[in-house]
Chain A
């Protein structure tokens, strides 16, 4: 999920404040499809990512493209409005109660010596790694991927060379949205969804992405790992209710001393 944000911000330079809300849309979609088709959410991942891709693409073309060169606060307002609409539409359609899906492995756990590991999370993590690898390969090895990276590095240069930047931006947003979609599907295997969980995830995604490095994919993964460990340690060593504070403290430190993130490149 943070990967998606990293991709979007790294390339299109738009801060997607509706990121978390897009994920809840994906989660609700998973819920509906699971109910209708009874397929495992990790399998549903693919079609849902596809749907979100289209959604992201359309969103970019329709609403965001005109905003590329507008100041940050305008972009921010735009996405805040989108987020507001999405959250309340979900409230109207799905109601406020938490809804979840149960798979055969919802409650399984593996025992590795003294460690007990949650099975559902392991599967979801595996799926996440697969998606991340696929994305990485795409950017590294395909022509399209390289084109997108070119746009990120040098907007003017890309246009000079003849790349259709608008289209590529839309594609990138779509890709980022697809990541979000995949994340949503994976998350459904682990938690329940209500219309209002979006914003917390948007924030989390930002914390992870910035810590790890915007525009760097391994960075997003590293960031996720780091934040997770920090929160867990903080929870164990101090009072658990304050564990998010440690994540934020880490964020502040990163912003101050290494704003490009741990694995990011210095911004052009």
Chain B
């Protein structure tokens, strides 16, 4: 089975991936607290971006309200922990269920009623906003005053309750990101992956061939939602506090799709490349401005925006495809 998964992948690509993995594993050993925090953020955005990518890149649905799943997942696990002391590994079952349900509802409403494209995007925004305002009034999770998780010491790593050092969270996130990567690769190679490709390229032809479009689009949406919920769980336990105003906010939804769009929608490694690039860019800009002695708030964001603009204009498919070509990783059997 491994050989089947690896066929068609250029050897150079494999070698590079392996090197990258080793680097990521060793990173915390020589990284300062600051770099570790950045590393966590990069992996977080890479993971969430990958999850979003499934809905967008594979099933072609633009979701601009993905913060909904992050928030739902986070609150589900956190509330269970705060009220009942349930470990997040148990709580995440609830998170996944809630998000899968939400995804199902949204997917069902959208596909049954033929809401597509921009309208779908706006539908997702509406749901996220609905949740934001709704959770502000949801007293069981403390509403707008915020849900605070009891904080424990940082020297011991309690993996069961997800209390521990940033290093633990880094590895956890790394595990999730690698898992997502492998999962997506497997899915793309599977029959479902090909159905998704068909639906994306030409829905009418696919339907004519007997592919149940509704069912496969739903799979993508639900899978994406469920995966995103896990990111929410980690987020909740990493930051130890949740505010509906912040976690469901549309700026968060936008934040997490920047990575995959810049990296390359539909590609496997796009989200990681995008997350790396964007976080690196943001921090790099900050450093540069500091070095130049500029202390005007807002300047960094302006330059960041200009860079985003440049990438979107000149690299329409994202950063990864041209990068892959440059690295000589172009697949010979690509259609």
Contacts and interface: CB of A to CB of B under 8 A. Distances in A.
Contact of B137 (A9, A76, A81, A239): A239
Interface string A55-73: 0000000010010001011
A248 B129 contact: yes
Given A80-B308, A84-B305, A245-B134, A259 B119 contact: yes
B116 to A, nearest CB: 9
B309 A81 contact: yes
A88 interface: yes
A239 B298 CA distance: 36
Contacts of A256: 109, 113, 115
Given A210-B122, A255-B119, A259-B114, A88 B312 contact: no
Q: Which of under 10, 10 to 19, 20 to 34, or 35 or more describes the interface residues of B?
A: 35 or more
A255 B122 contact: yes
Given A85-B302, A203-B250, A78 B126 contact: no
A91 B297 contact: yes
A206 B122 CA distance: 8
A157 B258 CA distance: 36
Contacts of A245: 130, 133-134
Contacts of A259: 113-115, 119
Contacts, number: 114
A92 B302 contact: yes
A74 interface: yes
A15 interface: yes
B145 interface: no
A78 B254 CA distance: 12
Contacts of A91: 297-298
Contact of A242 (B137, B262, B305, B312): B137
Contacts of A244: 129, 133
Contacts of B56: 73
B191 to A, nearest CB: 26
B118 A88 contact: no
A82 B305 contact: yes
A77 interface: yes
B222 interface: no
Interface string B306-324: 1011001100100000000
A72 B313 contact: no
Nearest to A96: B297
A81 B305 contact: yes
Interface in B276-335: 296-299, 301-302, 304-306, 308-309, 312-313, 316
B297 to A, nearest CB: 7
A88 B309 CA distance: 14
A25 interface: no
B305 A85 contact: yes
Contacts of A73: 56, 62, 257, 261, 265
Interface string B10-30: 000000000000000000000
A199 B125 CA distance: 12
A39 B327 CA distance: 61
A68 to B, nearest CB: 13
A74 B316 contact: yes
A252 to B, nearest CB: 5
Contact of B312 (A78, A89, A92): A78
A249 interface: yes
A251 interface: yes
Given A252-B123, A259-B113, A76 B62 contact: yes
A85 B309 contact: yes
Nearest to B133: A245
6 contacts: A76-B62, A88-B298, A92-B296, A244-B129, A255-B119, A256-B113
